[in-house]
Amino acid sequence: MNVTILGNNSALPAFGRHPTCQAVELSSEIILIDCGEGTQVQMQRYGIKWRRVHHILISHMHGDHYFGLPGLLNSMSLQGRKDELHIYGPQQLEPIVDAMMHAGGHQFEFPLHFHTLPDGAGVISDGTYFKISCFPVQHRIPCHGFVIEQKNARRRLLIDQCEAYGIPKTFYGPLKLGEDYVAPDGTVVPNELVTAESLPPRRYAYSADTLFSDSYLPYIQNADVLYHESTYLHADVEKAVARFHSTSMQAAQMAKMANAGQLLLGHFSSKYKDITPFQEEARTIFENAMATIEGTTYPV
Ligand SMILES: [Zn+2]
Ligand SMILES: [Zn+2]
């Protein structure tokens, strides 16, 4: 799993930075998180294929998180998309998108499914390859963060054991799926003798826009990578509190409390031209912190 930052600015495009959008790439598909203005242009620029996107998560109804959605959906339709698409977001989202399409007399040529996020926390998608959960954060309007877990559905081969039992390599695929091996003479080799449990799933947590608060700490605990907003440097902590945002040092404090593996910082205010101080401040509290750069892909 990896995440490509397509936009990491708050509110406005500024200094070559775009409003919030990121693409989480799994082996099976790409999940978009938030869809700020210019998302489809950023996707083309950084080689994120629309066809691989089947899930879009929208954290809240501030424009820097969804103004790019209508344009992206319209382009998908014009390009002849036939695959279904699932959008998870606040309940106001569907009527807004519908009204925009109806006003122009258009309709989508592909199955589009809207799913309203729950008031609290919950699992919103659970499939073979990944699980998506949402959790409420503290913002001026209802807002959710997300956790994406990549499942390792396949068992790990113990190669020495496989060879010792004489299992042909052509049977390694079924072994990973948990099947027992039956030799030509009828001898059964139980799967658990030649394979082991898969590695624990990798977890990516996205805080969306939020005031620094331990209310959402349980949901992001032990994330391999935590993306936390840091709209302001810590000198502007009063502004951050008044506007329900966080500072770089608060983001770092949250990563430390959550025991995260790595912290990615983003959602920088348009008032800052240089984002390196965000990283420097965060590292005074949490060493493995990065101020994200647009177009950069970070492994999870
Ligand atoms: Zn925002
Ligand atoms: Zn917001």
pLDDT tens for each residue of 43-76: 999 999 999 999 999 999 999 999 999 999 999 9
Helices and strands counted in the chain (H then E):
10, 18
Tokens 């770092």 sit on residue: 252
User: Mapping DSSP to helix (H, G, I), strand (E, B) and coil, where does residue 247 land?
Assistant: strand
How far is ligand 2, taken at its centre, from the CA of residue 156, in Å? 42
Q: How far is CA 296 from CA 2, 102, 114, 165, in A?
A: 10, 37, 29, 45
Q: Are residues 222 and 250 in the same domain?
A: yes
- Torsion angles phi and psi, residue 149, rounded to 5: -110, 125
How far is ligand 2, taken at its centre, from the CA of residue 249, in Å? 19
Ligand nearest to the CA of 67: 1
Q: What is the mean pLDDT of residues 136-159?
A: 93
Percent of the chain with pLDDT over 90: 89
Q: Are residues 271 and 224 in the same domain?
A: yes
Neighbours of 55 (CB within 10 A): 23
How far is ligand 1, taken at its centre, from the CA of residue 227, in Å? 13
Length of the chain (residues): 300
Question: Please, which residues bridge with residue 297 across strands?
Answer: 4
**Could you give the residue numbers annotated as active site?**
64
How far is ligand 2, taken at its centre, from the CA of residue 147, in Å? 18
Q: How far is CA 228 from CA 23, 97, 130, 197, in A?
A: 15, 28, 21, 31
Q: What is the mean pLDDT of residues 92-98?
A: 95
Ligand 1 is an ion; its neighbours by CB within 5 Å are: 10, 62, 64, 209
Q: Are residues 43 and 120 in the same domain?
A: yes
Taking the alpha carbons at both ends of the chain, their separation in whole angstroms is 5
Ligand nearest to the CA of 139: 2
C-alpha torsion sign, points 266, 267, 272, 273? positive
For the residues of 191-223, what is the DSSP string, one character each?
HHHHEEPPPPPEEEEE--S--S-GGGHHHHTT-
Residues 6+ apart with CB under 8 A from 279: 248, 265, 289, 290, 291
- Indicate whether 92 pLDDT > 90: yes
Q: Are residues 242 and 190 in the same domain?
A: no
Q: Are residues 223 and 282 in the same domain?
A: yes
129 phi-psi bin (left φ>0, alpha ψ -120 to 50, beta other):
alpha
How far is ligand 2, taken at its centre, from the CA of residue 231, in Å? 10
**What is the CATH classification number for the domain harbouring 129?**
3.60.15.10
Q: Are residues 183 and 40 in the same domain?
A: no
Ligand nearest to the CA of 210: 2
Q: Are residues 179 and 268 in the same domain?
A: no
* Residue 217 amino acid letter: L
Domain that includes residue 173, residue range:
156-196
Ligand nearest to the CA of 137: 2
pLDDT digits (tens, 9 = 90+) for 235-256: 999 999 999 999 999 999 999 9
Q: Are residues 146 and 187 in the same domain?
A: no
d(CA 117, CA 133): 10
Total domains in the chain come to 2
Question: Which residue among 166, 196, 226 closes a domain?
Answer: 196
Percent of the chain with pLDDT over 70: 100
pLDDT digits (tens, 9 = 90+) for 166-186: 999 999 999 998 999 999 999
- Which of these, 67, 75, 59, 68, lies nearest to 110 by C-alpha position? 75
- Locate the DSSP E strands across the chain: 2-7, 21-25, 30-35, 53-57, 85-89, 112-116, 122-126, 130-136, 144-150, 156-157, 181-182, 188-189, 195-196, 202-206, 225-229, 262-266, 289-291, 297-299
pLDDT bracket for residue 257 (50, 70, 90): very high
How far is ligand 1, taken at its centre, from the CA of residue 68, in Å? 13
Residue 198 confidence (pLDDT): 84
Q: Are residues 70 and 217 in the same domain?
A: yes
How far is ligand 2, taken at its centre, from the CA of residue 58, in Å? 11
- Indicate whether 153 pLDDT > 80: no
